[in-house]
Every structure is written in C-alpha cells, then in structure tokens.
Structure 1
C-alpha cells in the first residue's frame, strides 16, 4: 500500500472518530484477542472519549518508556493522541510531549482531544515518520504504537529517530514483528494474510532483521520482547533501545566510509605515541576495513563541526565458528580530545553493541606503560588474564603486553535467541 493510501486510510478513521464513531483498524477478532486499541492500557481514567475511540495501537509503549519528569518525548504516528496524553501526565508540566502524524485529520483530532483533556504541554505536528520535522537532538524519548510496521522505509524511520534523539536518549515502542522467516510459500502467504488482518500494511520485520536494523542505525542495549501472538509467526512486541551516551556537543554513531581520512589520521596519531600498538603506520582504508568486522564500528563526532574525535572497532580473533563470539577491539581518541570521557563513552557503546550482536568475549592487548588505557578498560569490566613478556621488539626495545578480556554476562546465546551467525548476516544486509 502506497504512503498516500495509508494516510487516506487513517484520515478516514480520524474523520469517523471526529464524528463520534468508534474506529477499528483490523479484523474484530484480532482487535479482541491482540489487546489492540485502548484495551491495552490500564491507566486511561480521565482521558477524552475521542482519544480512546481512536486508539489503534498494539500495545502500551508509555508503560515501558520509563518517562521521567521534565523530559521531552515524541510519539511517532500519534493518531488520536492517547499515548501523547499519557506521556504528558508522566513528564509533568515542565516536560513536553510531541505527537507526529501524517494525517492532518488525525492531528486535528489529537489537538481536540488534548484541549478537551486540558493538557497544555503537548504539541501535535503533521509530517511523516520518515522525515521527522524536528531538529537534531530534540527529544530524550521516542515512543510509537504499532506504526513503524506501516512504513515501507523502516531504515529511514529509525535513522530519523536516531537523529532527533539526544545522546543517551531512549526508544520504547510497540510494533508488529515476525518471529521467523522460515517456511515455504504457503507459510509466507499466511503470514501476509495475518499481517493484513492485524493492520500491518507494509509488512513486518523479523526479530533478527529488527535487531540488525537498530544496530546498523547506531542503537545499542536493544531488547525485543514478544507479547501477543496473532498466529502464523506474527507477534506484537515491545522494542527498546538506547542512543549511546556521551558529553554534550558530541555524538556516537556508526563509522562510515566518509570518516576514513579522519579515522586513519587519529589512528596514526595514536601509533606515533609509541604506546598504542606494535604497528608504526596506519593501513590504507581498504586494509583497515578488511581487518575489521563490518559492524561494531563507532565514531565519536563533534555535532557542531562533524569532526571525528575518536573511534572504536572490532576484529575477529579467528575464522573458526567456535570463536564467532570472540573479538579483539581497537580504541583511539584524537590527541587534542583526551581526558574528556570520549574513550569511556566509546568503549561503553562498543560493549553494549557487542552484547546486542551476541559477542561473549572482548579481548585487548595493552602495553604496561599505557596506564590510562589499562585503567579505563578495568573500570568497564575488563580483567587482566596475564602478561606476554618480551613478546615483541618495538622501537629498539623488547616489550611486554598485558592481556585483558571482558566476558559478557549476557551471551546472546540463551535458548531461543538468534545465533551470532544469523545476526551477522542480518547486519551485513542492513
């Protein structure tokens, strides 16, 4: 279904709600069995009847968004405004709750409901979730209720969500997902029919695809909790993730090819100190990327200038399948930007991202003389496992290397979880 058709469909539902009618966006049995609409909430007392009538979601994202007093929150696809009004309650008068919807009729309905509720700390905006009409770093929390599945460009939706979130900001949404992509043509047809029955117009992502797309966008600390089962592998789900935290004026995002020159310059500056590695010359970009995993690469950038001020990346320790969850990492910060918490923020983001990717062990080799690096790694959970004495001849001196590792308490390989190989394939395709 084209974007214009989606907008017209929901505009028609909004007009019906404005006329005092109850609206339903999926088959009656799905609505009753899947906790769609206002039945998914337990705190609707005092909300306008119009907001309840126009509630078309598949969960209660407000309940899992962990909203705090004074925060700014954005609801993607706000419809009649029920999640915005509930958010406004939680953040209080000093917070701000935005609602974004592509239907002007839905925006009109939501504004009317907010006025009826006497809620002043809300603002409803007409626009698309693929091009959010808010500036960078505008909100602390993004919520959404069964809307992202309606988009035919989910990558753009998540990229825009990442852009408008402040560092450390949170994503807490309800959506429709598919718990598996297995099966033949008949099973696929059944899944499509079930998606249509529950109002999932553009098709749902599998759980593995959703995780990979969130990771490729830059989100970490991802969790996907399956809730209602609609049959044929189609599920409602609560999806949570975090934009990596870092000091004001900076942002952590995935490394891109356009960062090559700056990344390699920082690499060389680190090598020039003589305390970062046995290497003396940074490789070409082709050599750099060839030795690193395609994912788990992050840069810290100055949001004002776009300058890269630090980076972290992972290398596999072995091609053998048994070591799929073991990586070695490299971490470098621009010499003019050290002692500002950038390395700590990058390493924290890397650890969170590695756990999302099913990595169970991160290894590092550090010179004993590199005390700041040793201290940083141990502060973030790395333990010393030994010393390789006089292992290499460097600048005319035999040097020791201290070996450290961080073993994850969340391996990503618990029963029912996707394998590391499956996540890597999905990350490569995202």
Structure 2
C-alpha cells in the first residue's frame, strides 16, 4: 500500500476500535490463532479496553526492551497506545514515553486511552517514522510493533531511530521479516494469508540496514512462523556508547578531510605507525573494509575526534573472519574515553559481521594504546624485533590480537 493508503487504513481501524467493533488487520484467522494483536501481552487488565482492541502488533516489544525507571522511550507507529501505556508503567513518573503516529484518528484514540489510564508521563506526536519530530539524542529506548515493515523507506526509519537515541541507547522492536528473499509466488501466498508481508525485509537485509544506521549488537530472533519463509521476529540492537558530548557513528565520505587530519596528527606523534604521511582519501578508503569504519564526533560541532577502521588480512576464504585494524584519536582529545568507545563499537560491529579475530601491531613504547587494547580483550602474541627503522631508531612491534568469544567458535 502507498503511504496515504496505509494512513487511511489504520485510521479506519482506529475508528472501529473506538466504536467498540472488532479490529483485525492482518487477517482474522491470524488474529484468532494468536499470531497478531494483543495475544502476546500479559498485562492487559491494567489497560483501557479500546487500547487492547486497537492492538495490531506482531509481538510484545515492551517485554524485551528492559525498560528502567526514569528512561525516555519512543514508540514508532504507536497506534492506539498499548505499548506506550505499558512502557509508561515501567519507566515510572520520572520517565517519559512518546508515541509517534501518522494517523490523526489513531492519535485521538491513543490520547483518550492515555487519559482513561491516568498516564501523565506520555505524549503522542503527529509525524512519520521516517521523520520523527524529536531532537537528536533525546531518548533512551526505541520500540515499535509491526510497523517498520509497512514503511517504504526502512533505511530512513532506522537512521531516524539512531538519530534520536542517545549513545548507548537501545532499539527493540517486533516486526515481520522474511528468512530470505521471497519469490513472488511465496510472497503473494503469504500476503493472502496474513495480509502484511509486502514490506517484510529478509533477515540479512535487516541486519545490513541496522549496521548502516550505526547500530551494533544486532539480534534477530524469529518467533511466530507464518509459513512461506515469513516470521514475526524480535529485533534488538544498540547505539554505541560514548563519552559525554561524543557520538560514535559510521564513517562517511564527507568525513574524509577530518579523518585524514586526525590520522596525520597521530603519525606526527611518532608513536602510531611507521608511516609518516597519510595517503590520499582514495587510497585510504580502497584499502579498508567498507562496513567496519567508524568515527567519534563532537555532538556540538560535528568535528571528527577519532576513527577506527579495518582491512582484510587476506583474500583467501579461510581468513574471511580475520581483520587488521587501526584506531586513531586526535592527540588533543586522548585520555577521555574516546578510543575505548571507538574500539568497543568496532568489536561489536565486527562480531555482527562475522569477524572472529582482530589483529594489529603496536610499538612497544606506545603504552597507552597497548593498555587500551588489553582492557578490551586483546593480548600480545609475539614481538617482531627491530622490524623497521623509524625516525632514526630501530623499533620493535608487538603483535596483538583479539579472538571473539561469540563468533567463529
């Protein structure tokens, strides 16, 4: 369905729920079998009847969001408000829950439900999930229930979720996914049966889009099986943690000049590498893997403060999960936790991508770098003695590596 058709469809369902009529979105049979709607919730007795009746989800994201007292939560496509109201109970009076929906009828229904429930810590906003009407880094948790699959621009939705989350924030949604790419016949059969499959992403594509939006620690757990390779699923991810006023995000082509400036500043210390002059951007980017490169930015100015990236160690298939990395923080910004945040994000993203070993070399005199790596699980596996003459001195290089405890076992 087109965007306007989706809004009209859900607006009609909101009016049905408000009028006390039965509401079923993805096929009545599916609702009766407990696959969709409110069947997955255990706390329905505390909610207004209209909120329960308007539940059109495919799971219970609140149950896996691990909400804490005082947190700020955003529900993408909040509908009649069931997940907002349940979240509001969990975050308590010190917390706040926002619901965003494009349907004015759904918003009116949700506001009435919130008033009936006595929920003073909620706010429903008119907007789209592709363009959320909230500031950057303003929420702790993003949830959603069977809505992202309806969007025609899922990359924009996930980018918005990342934008509004604070560093360290969590993403936990229920959605409809496909195990793999559905052929037209299978997709048509699933649509006829449950009605809301047209936008279901294959699991690998969902993972790719989450990574591109900057998320790590991605987990996709299939729940209900709807046949033809279509499932409900719980999708969880994390926005990388960072020190105050710093954000970790994927490196972009527009960062080129600043990344190379940080690189050169590191080389100028004489403790980072045998190199003395940075390459041109074309050479830099061609030598590094496209999906495992991040920058640390000042949230006020956007200035790049540091970066981390990796190169494949070999084109041979046996080394597919082995990479060699570099991490640089501008000398003026060191000892502030930026390097640790970059390296932690890189490790998590690498494990999501199937990396089982990260390796590198460190000058023995670079005690700060060695300590950072050892704190995050790297170990020294050997020393290459007098491997090169740098600035008139023969230097030893310590070989370090980190083996994943979750990937490649």
Paired residue for 1:428? none
Which of residues 297, 306, 310 in structure 2 aligns to 1:310? Answer: 306
Paired residue for 1:229? 225
Give how far 1:332 is off: 0.4
Give how far 1:248 is off: 1.8
Give how far 1:32 is off: 2.7
Is this contact kept in 2: 1:195–1:234, CA < 8 A? no
1:7 partner SS: helix
Relative to 1, partners in 2 of residues 1:235 and 1:201: Cα closer, same or farther, differing over 3 Å? closer
Cα distance in 2 for residues equivalent to 1:5 and 1:196: 18
1:393 aligns with 2:389: yes
Paired residue for 2:4? 4
Paired residue for 1:18? 18
Give how far 1:156 is off: 0.3
Cα distance in 2 for residues equivalent to 1:354 and 1:115: 46
Paired residue for 1:419? none
Relative to 1, partners in 2 of residues 1:201 and 1:133: Cα closer, same or farther, differing over 3 Å? farther
Paired residue for 1:161? 161
1:114 aligns with 2:131: no
Cα distance in 2 for residues equivalent to 1:5 and 1:16: 17
Structure 1: runs of 5+ lacking an equivalent: 415-430
Give how far 1:148 is off: 0.1
Give how far 1:195 is off: 3.8
Paired residue for 1:36? 36
1:281 aligns with 2:305: no
Relative to 1, partners in 2 of residues 1:367 and 1:67: Cα closer, same or farther, differing over 3 Å? same
Paired residue for 2:401? 405
1:38 partner SS: coil
Is this contact kept in 2: 1:50–1:113, CA < 8 A? yes
After superposition, the C-alpha distances for 1:375-405 in whole angstroms (9 at most, x for unaligned) are 0000000011111111112112211100110
Cα RMSD for the two superposed structures? 1.1
Cα distance in 2 for residues equivalent to 1:222 and 1:118: 35
Relative to 1, partners in 2 of residues 1:196 and 1:78: Cα closer, same or farther, differing over 3 Å? farther
Give how far 1:34 is off: 4.9
Paired residue for 1:256? 252
Between 1:103-112 and 1:16-25, the stretch displaced more is: 16-25
Number of aligned residues: 409
Paired residue for 1:376? 372
Paired residue for 2:362? 366
Relative to 1, partners in 2 of residues 1:197 and 1:101: Cα closer, same or farther, differing over 3 Å? farther
Runs of 4+ in 1 over 3 A off after TM superposition: none
1:66 partner SS: coil
Cα distance in 2 for residues equivalent to 1:16 and 1:45: 21
Cα distance in 1 for residues equivalent to 2:17 and 2:335: 56
Is this contact kept in 2: 1:34–1:229, CA < 8 A? no
Is this contact kept in 1: 2:174–2:235, CA < 8 A? yes
What's the TM-score, normalizing by structure 1?
Answer: 0.93
Cα distance in 2 for residues equivalent to 1:96 and 1:315: 43
Is this contact kept in 2: 1:276–1:367, CA < 8 A? yes
1:36 partner SS: coil
